[in-house]
Structure 1
């Protein structure tokens, strides 16, 4: 699987996150999000148990504009 960099939160510091990538999977569209690990106890309690092979990351709405840009571009290619 290969990944394509889509964009990074413009407010991130030099080594910061979040960053969004698109994959080239052929069976479904997926994105890899690099972000802040969710450690807030209240949020974790409300969400419930997370399987050991999964994790939660928090990405700001600003980063999702990169997804929207790709979506609009692909819709225009059809």
Structure 2
């Protein structure tokens, strides 16, 4: 599996940003989100148990808007 950069938080510092990537999986469309690790105990309690091999990350709304820019669909 490979990852293609879609974009990053425009308000972040260079090299230190929430970022979104699209994968090239052929069985389903998936994305990789790089974000801030969630460590707030109240948030973790609200979310509940996180399975091994998974993580909870926080990303800004501007990065979520990049989901509409999946490669190969004529997006700018």
Q: TM-score, normalised by structure 2?
A: 0.87
Aligned to 1:44: 44
Distance between the aligned counterparts of 2:46 and 2:64, measured in 1?
23
The 4+ residue runs of structure 1 with deviation greater than 3 A are none
Distance between the aligned counterparts of 1:6 and 1:14, measured in 2?
15
Query: What value does the CA root-mean-square deviation take over the aligned residues?
Result: 1.9
Aligned partners of 2:22 and 2:70 also within 8 Å: no
Q: Note the residue ranges of structure 1 that are not aligned, 5 or more in a row.
A: none
Cα deviations by residue, 1:20-42 (Å, 9 ceiling, x for unpaired):
00000000000000100001110
SS in structure 2 of the partner of residue 54 of structure 1: coil
Aligned to 1:13: 13
